[in-house]
Structure 1
Amino acid sequence: MISDPGHQPAPLHIARDGSVAIVTLTRPEALNALSNELIGRLMDALDALELDDGVRAIAITGRGRAFSAGADIKGFLPHMRVGPREAVAHFLRPGQRLTARVEAFPKPIIAAVNGLAFGGGCELVEATHIAVASTSAVFAKAEINIGIIPTFGGTQRLPRNVGRKAATELILTGRRFDAEEALRLGLVNQVVPDEALMPTVLGIARDIASKPPLSVSAALSAIHRGQDAAIEGGLAIEEASFAVIVPTRDALEGVTAFVEKRAPHFVGR
Structure 2
Amino acid sequence: MTLVAAVQMVSTPRVDENIATARRLVAQAAAAGAKLVLLPEYWPIMGMSDGDKVSHAEALGKGPIQDFMAQAAREHGIWLLGGTLPLASDDPSKVINTTLVYDPEGRHVGRYDKIHLFGFTRGSESYNESKTIVPGKQVGTVDTPLGKVGMSVCYDLRFPELYRAMGPLTLIVVPAAFTYTTGQAHWEVLLRARAIENQCYVLAAAQGGEHANGRRTWGHSMLIDPWGEVKARLAEGEGVVLGDVDRVYLDSVRESLPALKHRTM
* Smaller-chain TM-score bracket: 0.3 to 0.5
Query: Whose relative contact order is higher, 1 or 2, with alpha carbons under 8 Å and at least 6 apart?
Result: 2
TM, length-normalised to structure 1: 0.32
Could you say which structure has the higher strand fraction? 2
Higher radius of gyration, 1 or 2: 1
Could you say which structure has the higher helix fraction? 1
